[in-house]
Structure 1
Amino acid sequence: MNSIKKKLSRYLSISISILLVSILLATDISVDTWISSEFDRAMTNKASLLETLVEEDEQEVDFDFAGEFMPEFEGKENPEYYQLWHKNKVFEKSDTLALFEVNELPRLTVNLGESKFKNITLPDGRSGRMI
């Protein structure tokens, strides 16, 4: 026969365990969501910064990029990548893409003024996101 004390202890232990696991799971999901949205926002800001370096007139498109101000697109350790298209052709891409056998990024089709995020495998084999 189980005593009331044993039953109560078991019930409280199970209840507290379920409560703690639920709280930790909710915290983990909310932190992951927050980190992902912050990363997407930082990536959007960086893409907007690169966008300001593009000048277009009737004859040509010019990209006024200086690697010393954005070394993440120049280095070999944990490199970042960009690739710009004009008239369905690549007209500029980061030097870091030349370091790898796969040196093209996939192209996303989006409407003017919109952006889309996509999970991809980066040229160096890491998991990444593109905008």
Structure 2
Amino acid sequence: MTNGALVVVWGQAVRGREQHALVVFNEVLGYFGRLQRAGEIDSFEPVALEPSGGTLAGFLLARGDPAQLQRIRLSDEFLRLSNRSLHVVDHFGVHGAYLGDDLQRLYANWGAQAQALTSTLADAGTVPAYLPT
């Protein structure tokens, strides 16, 4: 089961660079297609969002092993494509993401830390009104 993902997000194309943005977008799709064919990622899916007045125009979700995704993220080719993207779209970003068992582990730990903090505050007699006791 895939436990990790890489989420690449972008906003609108920089005005006057729309054609360049299409070129880079196609380069990125080709790159992730090659990674999938080589077995370096499990899958990827580009998503275009409806205009909403916000900063996000689309994202690409690449699924795979977290360690392999980190190696990809640090590769020269990913760096090259990221830098090209920064020149042609606004609000470009790359995020690691949790899926599957790693997602469950993340939220189990989050819940445990919330409980531990609540207990610590209760022991100190300083539980804020919004926290359950």
- Whether the TM-score (by the shorter chain) exceeds 0.5 is no
Q: So what's the TM-score if we normalise by structure 1? A: 0.26
Which structure carries more relative contact order (alpha carbon 8 Å, separation 6+)?
2
Higher Rg: 1
Q: So what's the TM-score if we normalise by structure 2? A: 0.26
